[in-house]
A and B are shown apart, each in its own frame.
Chain A
Amino acid sequence: GNSVTQMEGPVTLSEEAFLTINCTYTATGYPSLFWYVQYPGEGLQLLLKATKADDKGSNKGFEATYRKETTSFHLEKGSVQVSDSAVYFCALSFYKLTFGKGTLLTVNP
């Protein structure tokens, strides 16, 4: 079946550091890929998405590229802020959303 594997956290960075959260997937067919973010006590917010191979999703300085050859959708940001501290979920869509286990990011001032 479909599955998503993302790097285990927690990830702790200093403000303005470079962020990478790895995500790989296993799927039948060609799913759409998503990154969602969850702040404490809240639901999930859609961060970015890509619907086909080589698409790049971007939002609020975050980027991720749909790599079919490596079945990956790694999340990157060039300079993180304290306000980026949250849990990040990678997900694929194929009749339903299938999520990774989430990566807790803490950014210190």
Chain B
Amino acid sequence: KAGVTQTPRYLIKTRGQQVTLSCSPISGHRSVSWYQQTPGQGLQFLFEYFSETQRNKGNFPGRFSGRQFSNSRSEMNVSTLELGDSALYLCASGETSGGETQYFGPGTRLLVL
């Protein structure tokens, strides 16, 4: 089976812009979770979608949003970008909701200037 894919792999934006990241889960997986990785804060949970519904949400401002489509592909959007949003954004897919055994994609590295 193909693994989790994320596009784009690298992105450079300026403050105030918005960005959309995409994630395609492993075939058959209906759960997609998003994590932010930074040197200072480490790995932090953003949100999880399962069967097109947001199931869990981390402690991030409303500028961070997401959605999931009927084919389980997911997108994450960040509006009004701030310098502190520079990070590696990781997507993970799983068969069930709730964090059990997730498989990660290679990530999208976002740099905000």
Contact = CB atoms under 8 A, between A and B. Distances in A.
A35 interface: no
Given A97-B35, A99-B43, A43 B98 contact: no
Contact of B99 (A36, A42, A93, A100): A93
Interface of A: 32, 34, 36, 42-46, 49, 89, 93-102
A97 B42 contact: no
Contact of B103 (A32, A46, A94, A96): A46
Interface of B: 4, 6, 33, 35, 42-43, 45, 48, 56, 58, 90, 92, 98-107
Given A43-B90, A99-B42, A102-B42, A94 B99 contact: yes
Would you call the interface of chain A mostly helix, strand, loop, or mixed? strand
Contacts, number: 55
Contacts of B58: 96
A49 B107 CA distance: 22
Contacts of B90: 43-44
Contacts of B33: 96-97
A96 B33 CA distance: 8
B42 A46 contact: no
